[in-house]
A and B are shown apart, each in its own frame.
Chain A
Amino acid sequence: MCLAIPGKVLSIAGDEALQRAGRVSFGGILKEVNLAFVPEAEVGDYVIVHVGVAISRVDGAEAQRVFDYLGQMGELAELQPDSTGKSAP
C-alpha cells in the first residue's frame, strides 16, 4: 500500500501550521508538497512523500544501514569456509 517516494526539499514556504509547504524534487520533477508533519525538515533534506504530504524525513545516516548489514554478512561469510560457494560477484 501507499506509494511513497523520497524527494529533496528545495524550498519551504508558509509557516501556518497546516499549510507549511515546500517545493520538492523527485529526480528533477518538482511538486508542491505539504510539510506540516515534518517540522524538522529543512531545505536540502529528503522527505518521504505520499499523496502530496510528507510523512517522514529520511535519515541519511540510517540510509547506509542496509549496506552495512550486507558488509557484516560478508565478513561473517568469509569466516565460514564451508559457505555454499555460490556467493555473488
Chain B
Amino acid sequence: MKFLDEYRDAARARQFAVATARTVTRPWTLMEVCGGQTHAIVKFGLDELLPRGLELVHGPGCPVCVTPVELIDKALEIAARPEVIFCSFGDMLRVPGTQADLLSVKARGGDVRIVYSPLGAVKLARENPAREVVFFAVGFETTAPANAMAVAQAREFGLKNFSLLVSHVLVPPAMEAILASAANRVQGFLAAGHVCAVMGFTEYEPISRRYRVPIVVTGFEPLDILQGVLMCVEQLETGRAGVENQYTRAVRREGNTPAQQLIREVFRVVPRKWRGVGEIPQSGLSLSAAYAGFDAEQRFGVADVCAEESSECISGLILQGIRKPHECPAFGTRCTPEHPLGATMVSSEGACAAYHRYRRVQAAQS
C-alpha cells in the first residue's frame, strides 16, 4: 500500500538504527506519547534495533487505557438500558469497569454494537428513530473532529435520539503533567503525529522551551518512529531543545484549521480524570453549551456515578514512564489480558498488553 509499505523497509530501518548508534554517546530516555506508536514499536521490535542505553518509555496516549473507570461504569449503566443501542469502537468493549465490561453487558442482553466510525452511529440513529443511540466518544485530538462531526450532523438532521458519552482527553496537558512530576525521567518526546495533523504543533513550543525538552512530531510507521528517535537524539546530543516535525507528509505547523473550528464549536476544554494518573487540569473536552442536549450523561442521569480503581495496578506509573510493565508484581500473574487489573492490560495498545503479547518470554527470563 502506497505511503505505508515504503516506510516499513528493512534495509532503511537498519540504516536508521546504524545512524542512531553512531549519534548516541550516552544513555537517553525518550517517551513516545502515543499508544499507536507503542504498538508499532513492540510489534516491529523497533526498540531492539536501537542502541543499548537508549530507552523508550511508553506514554499515556491510549484513549482506551486512560478512560477513567467511572466513565466505563456510566457506559455500562447506559448500555444495559433496553431502549439504548450503545455504539463503541471495538477496543473499548473489553475495558473493565468496577464490576464488568461492555462485552459482559452484551452477554446479558444489552444492545452493544461495534462501529468503525461515529458517523456510523449517527446513521444508526437515523435508521432507528424509536431507539436511543449512544456513542462512546473516547479519544484524543485525532478523534475529536470525527466525534464533533457526528454531533454536528446529528443536529443538522434534527436527531433527538442521538447522544455522546464523552471522555475526550488532550495531549499537551498530559505531557506537562509528566514533565512537572518530581519523578520524571523523560528527556525527549515523540509527539503523536495524528494528533498534530489535527492540532498542529504550536502548542508544544512553550512546553519545549519551559522544560528544555526536545519534542519531535512523529509518524507511525517503523521508519517514521526510527527517524523521530534519531531527530530527538540529535537534539539531545547537541544540547538543543525544540519542536521538530518528522511527519511532514501529514502534519502542518498550524494543523487542520477547519477541524479545529468544529472542535471549538462542539466542545469546551474541561478538567479531566485520567485512569491511573488522576485529574489533570484543562486536559479534556466536554460538549459545549450549544451541544449540551447531546450529552448522554445528562440524558441518562449518570453524571454522579463514582468508582475506585484497583489499588494494586501500577498503570499510572507505567503511563508516566516511571515503571515498565514487567516490573509490576502482578504482571502476567494476577493481571493478564483475560483478567486485567487496569486498562493498560486491556487495550491491545496498552503498554502492559503489548508487553504481555510480544514480550512475555523475555520478561519471564529477565
Contact = CB atoms under 8 A, between A and B. Distances in A.
Interface of A: 1-6, 8, 18-19, 26-27, 34, 36-39, 46, 48, 50-53, 55-56, 58-60, 62-63, 65-67, 69-70, 73-74, 77, 83-84, 86-89
A74 B77 CA distance: 58
Interface in B281-319: none
Nearest to B118: A51
Interface in B237-262: 246, 248-252, 256, 258-259, 262
A34 B120 CA distance: 11
Interface of B: 1-4, 6-7, 11-12, 14-19, 21-22, 34-36, 61-63, 89, 116-120, 139-140, 142-143, 145-146, 149, 152-153, 156, 192, 194-195, 197-198, 220, 223-224, 227, 246, 248-252, 256, 258-259, 262, 349
A8 B293 CA distance: 37
Contacts of A62: 248-249
A8 B89 CA distance: 24
Contacts of B17: 88
Contacts of B143: 2, 50-51
Given A53-B145, A74-B15, A6 B22 contact: no
A34 B62 CA distance: 24
Nearest to B17: A88
B3 A18 contact: no
Given A2-B139, A52-B118, A18 B7 contact: no
A52 B119 contact: yes
A70 B15 contact: yes
Nearest to A89: B11
13 contacts: A2-B195, A18-B149, A18-B156, A27-B1, A34-B149, A37-B256, A51-B116, A59-B250, A66-B227, A77-B19, A83-B22, A87-B15, A88-B17
A6 to B, nearest CB: 4
Given A51-B146, A53-B117, A86 B2 contact: no
Residue of B18, B34, B250 with most chain A CB atoms under a 10 A cut-off:
B250
A56 B251 CA distance: 7
Contacts of A65: 248-249
Contacts of A87: 15, 18
Contact of A55 (B11, B194, B227): B194
B142 A1 contact: yes
A18 B357 CA distance: 40
B287 to A, nearest CB: 17
Given A18-B153, A53-B145, A48 B194 contact: yes
A59 B248 contact: yes
A52 B116 contact: yes
B249 A63 contact: yes
A88 B15 contact: yes
A66 B220 CA distance: 13
